[in-house]
């Protein structure tokens, strides 16, 4: 079965609800962003569901857990991957999911904890 023909269910963790069911032509990875019904979400986790048919297991469905993406999304390119926030800051987590330890919701601009 091709990736483009596999349904992907998009769910939030807190509260646990289904955002929608879509078909993707790419394999979603944690840290990627996905748009569903005009809203942008950050992918936190990906799970596969398999079905036993014809003597073997086939990929049946992909389930991704997401959180709403920050509206004021600041990103920096570090070693070929995007990280949230100002990567020059000492407290930056160098992650696609969380900005930093002391000010995870941001923004970096004007933060009184910012240090080079």
Same domain, residue pair 61 and 78: no
At residue 38, the pLDDT reads: 84
- Report if pTM > 0.75: no
41-88 per-position pLDDT tens digit: 889 999 999 999 999 999 889 999 998 876 656 777 777 777 878 888
Same domain, residue pair 64 and 27: yes
Same domain, residue pair 53 and 13: yes
> Is the confidence at residue 104, as pLDDT, over 90?
no
14 touches 44 (CB < 8 A): no
In which domain, by residue range, is 100 found?
Answer: 71-116
At residue 95 the predicted structure's pLDDT band, cuts being 50, 70 and 90, is confident
Q: With b meaning 16 or more CB within 10 Å and e meaning fewer, what string describes 31-56?
A: ebebeeeeeebbbbeeeeeeeeeeee
């Amino acid at each position: 079965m091709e990736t483009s023909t596999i349904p992907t269910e998009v769910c939030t963790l807190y509260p646990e609800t289904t955002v929608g069911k879509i078909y993707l032509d790419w394999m979603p990875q944690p840290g990627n962003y996905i748009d569903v019904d005009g809203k942008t979400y950050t992918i936190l986790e990906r799970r596969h569901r398999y079905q036993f048919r014809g003597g073997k297991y086939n990929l049946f469905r992909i389930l991704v857990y997401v959180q709403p993406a920050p509206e004021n999304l600041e990103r920096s390119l570090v070693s070929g991957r995007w990280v949230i926030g100002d990567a020059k800051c000492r407290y930056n987590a160098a992650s696609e999911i969380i900005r930093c330890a002391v000010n995870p919701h941001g923004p970096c601009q004007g933060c009184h904890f910012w240090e080079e």
